């Protein structure tokens, strides 16, 4: 890695509390690379050779079975992926590809595990990150099992809305087909779900969504902190 990239990496939550010497050792083994859009980074079933940390851009985690494919999560800066596989020295359960041109830090698995052993602060940060990932999937799973497609969409819109400053409108952060897959439905069904939400003040124009009846939409969505709140 280039020396002048080091300070930026050092300030990432995962590294900021670890000792200088352990950080240097870890970074000597790491690669910081920029990948173009739509590039496959890893494939499910492959052994976990690297931990990935997205510093710029966006990565889609997806999975396949039978002939079907589904989006499992989107990773934005500064998020990691495939941490559990690295820690367990197991195969990846998900595939990953860039959505946009992305800058990604790759750390060889064995170095991550070594740093975990030798640096208590790093171990603590790793565990916090892993616990957050775990709770994220649990929330997704609850959403899928406890809500209809329209409810999932309504709550997702409310989430984007508040993340983007609650201005009354929001920008969809991904293609609609990606959002559909994230929410566990087909693109056709997403279209129809948007139509179902029209009477609740949801106006869609491309990737711009206006929410003209927040109260009504909220009543329908019944948001639940234990599903919809991030980072808790």
226 contact, one of DNA, its own copies, none, CB 5-8 Å limit per kind: its own copies
Asked if residue 128 binds its own copies (CB under 8 A), the reply is: yes
Residue 84 Cβ, how far from its own copies at the closest point, in Å? Answer: 4
Tell me which of 88, 177, 198, 230 binds its own copies, using CB under 8 A: 88
Residues 6+ apart with CB under 8 A from 114: none
Check residue 149 for interaction with DNA (CB under 7 A): yes
- Of residues 137 through 166, those in contact with its own copies by CB under 8 A are 137-142, 144-147, 151
Residue 75: CB atoms within 10 Å: 23
Contact 128, 174 (CB under 8 A): no
Q: Omega into 220 within 30° of 0, i.e. cis?
A: no
Going by C-alpha positions, the residue among 190, 102, 211, 91 that lies closest to residue 148 is: 190
Return the number of the residue (183 or 209) whose C-beta is nearest its own copies.
Answer: 183
SS3 state of residue 33: strand
Three-class secondary structure assignment of 42-74: ECCCCECCEEEEEEECCEEEEEEECCEEEEEEE
Q: How far is the CB of 140 from DNA (least distance, A)?
A: 15
Nearest in space to 22 (alpha carbons), one of 5, 34, 36, 10 = 10
Q: Does 198 bind its own copies (CB under 8 A)?
A: no
Return the structure tokens found at 218: 């909220």
Select the binding partner of residue 65 from its own copies, DNA, none (C-beta < 5 to 8 A, by kind).
Answer: its own copies
**Footprint of its own copies (CB under 8 A):** 44-45, 63-66, 68-70, 72, 83-85, 87-88, 90-91, 93-94, 116-117, 120, 123-124, 126-128, 130-135, 137-142, 144-147, 151, 184, 222, 224-227, 232
**Footprint of DNA (CB under 7 A):** 148-150, 175-177, 184-192, 194-195, 204
């Amino acid at each position: 890695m280039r020396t002048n990239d080091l300070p930026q990496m050092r300030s990432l939550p995962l590294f900021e509390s670890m000792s200088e010497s352990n950080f240097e050792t870890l970074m000597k083994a790491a690669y910081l690379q920029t990948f173009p859009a739509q590039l496959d980074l890893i494939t499910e079933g492959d052994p976990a050779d690297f931990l990935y940390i997205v510093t710029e851009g966006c990565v889609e985690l997806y999975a396949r079975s039978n002939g079907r494919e589904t989006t499992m999560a989107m990773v934005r800066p500064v998020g990691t992926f495939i941490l559990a596989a690295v820690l367990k020295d197991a195969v990846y359960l998900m595939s990953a590809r860039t959505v946009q041109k992305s800058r990604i830090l790759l750390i060889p698995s064995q170095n991550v595990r070594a740093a975990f052993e030798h640096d208590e602060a790093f171990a603590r940060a790793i565990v916090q990150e892993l616990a957050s990932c775990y709770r994220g999937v649990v929330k997704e799973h609850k959403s899928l099992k406890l809500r209809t497609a329209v409810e999932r969409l309504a709550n997702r819109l409310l989430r984007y809305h508040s993340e983007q400053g609650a201005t009354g409108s929001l920008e969809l952060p991904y293609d609609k087909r990606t959002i559909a897959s994230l929410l566990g439905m087909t693109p056709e069904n997403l279209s129809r779900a948007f139509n179902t939400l029209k009477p609740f003040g949801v106006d869609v124009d491309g990737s711009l969504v206006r929410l003209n009846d927040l109260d009504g939409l909220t009543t329908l969505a019944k948001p639940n902190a234990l599903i919809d709140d991030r980072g808790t």
